[in-house]
Amino acid sequence: MPYFDNNATTPLLEAAEEAYMLASRDHWQNPSSPYRSAARARNLFDDDREWLAGLMGCPVEAIVFNSGATEGNNAVFNYLAGKHSSRARVVVSTIEHPSVLEPARAAFPDRVDYIPVLPSGISDLSVLAKLLKNPDIVLVSLMAANNESGVLQPWRKCLKMCRQKGVPFHTDASQWLGKMPSDGLGECDYVTACAHKFGGPKGVGFDIINQRETSFRSQLGGLHERGHRAGTENFPGIRSMVAALKYLYENLDRTLAEQEVRRNIFEKTLCQQIPGMRIIGSSDERLWNTVYLVMPGFANTRWVSLLDKRGFTVSTGSACASGTEGPSHVLAAMGIESQEAHRILRISGHWDTSSAAWNGLNAAFVEVWEELNRPKSSARETMVISV
């Protein structure tokens, strides 16, 4: 069944599944235990950490494995709130994932400043330049790529601006890692990522924590992760996450070249077939897998269910926002009117989504559009005749 909701979560890549099964079968011991079988698990674990640090371009000691991006984002804000005085403020973009926005507001009540986005979906760093004049700012957080629109955010430029002012910088790279080159991420003071967005298992991720932050503690109760996060490490999960990244970064150039072309053909063809349909965020650089659409008519939930009946899974927005009343905060930040927000669809492909799958989705969209526009009376007539 062609799955087009990979920004919500991904199926396990084969390499990741294999690594998980092997580690669970052969290296299930606690890597901290004092015998040889556990030491073998520890050695493999150390190799994985080293490989990941190499990919990210950060010291090995900066990596703190955890359960995923929600934990990672919470940990950064909670740590900084404990470290700084009650005057300290943080800056976040208005389109961050709730796992950044909510801990920022909870840990720094009434002391959060915002970077707005332009209608294209890209953060407006001219506002950041003004905010950075305040000496009370202790962190700026800007996601690397947005989970709803797929728009790439200017996190490298943001990092540079923060460096010039001596302000620490955090990026939530959950949607970037595995899809885009990793260069430069290791230079950020804090980075958050999770495996299930790039073909790894759920419930595994990591933070990069700047080396100067020796007192960083996200969980107490043991000396795991050099005391930064207590709790027995999920070694099979970590091994599987690293295996997914190895596979993806070996094939990244090919993926980027092939998948972006497939996505662009899909968009171009669909725009010709469904008049009045609009693509959001396409005026700036986007993730190669994401299509964010405003349909010309009918509620997005009807589109989702009729496409689903034809075997194609797409989303109404982020997994967190869908199912809630009202438009998502990302759409609101981009200035999308609420009557349009209910006609939004998010389509997100995979590293190996075939041309046939994109073409099939295209045909299904056209079929659904025709079905939705079919006069109701003819449907009733058909029913009467068939009875």
Which residues contribute to the site for ligand PLP (CB under 6 A)?
68-70, 97, 99, 143, 147, 172, 174-175, 194, 205, 319
Residue 118 CB-density burial (10 A; 0-12 exposed, 13-18 middle, 19+ buried): middle
Site of tokens 């305040």: 134
d(CA 75, CA 380): 57
Minimum CB separation from ligand PLP for residue 328, in Å?
12
Q: Please list the residues that pair with 348 across neighbouring strands.
A: 5, 290
Tell me the C-alpha distance between 70 and 226, whole Å: 21
315 and 360 in contact (C-beta within 8 Å)? no
Two structure tokens written together for 345: 């669809």
Residue with smaller CB distance to ligand PLP, 175 or 210: 175
* Catalytic annotation, pick one of 58, 162, 194, 320: 320
Minimum distance, C-beta of residue 297 to ligand PLP, in the bound complex (Å):
29
Q: Which is nearer to ligand PLP, 105 or 302 (CB)?
A: 105
Q: In which element (H, E) is residue 207 found?
A: strand 205-209
Residue nearest to ligand PLP (CB): 68
Least Cβ distance, residue 239 to ligand PLP (angstroms): 18
For the bound state, the minimum distance from the C-beta of residue 58 to ligand PLP, rounded and expressed in Å, comes to: 19
Please, what is the minimum distance in Å from the beta carbon of residue 217 to ligand PLP? Answer: 20
Residue where the block lists tokens 């207590």: 230
Catalytic residue status for 320: yes
Taking the least distance from each CB to ligand PLP, the nearer of 42 and 196 is: 196
Task: Give CA–CA dist 327/77, Å, rounded.
Answer: 26
Cα distances (angstroms) measured from residue 40 to each of 46, 53, 189, 344: 10, 20, 32, 50
- Nearest CB to ligand PLP, comparing residues 98 and 116: 98
| Adjacent-strand bridge partners of 347 | 291
Between 19 and 204, whose beta carbon lies closer to ligand PLP? 204
- Give the number of other Cβ atoms within 10 Å of residue 11's Cβ: 12
Enumerate the active-site residues: 320
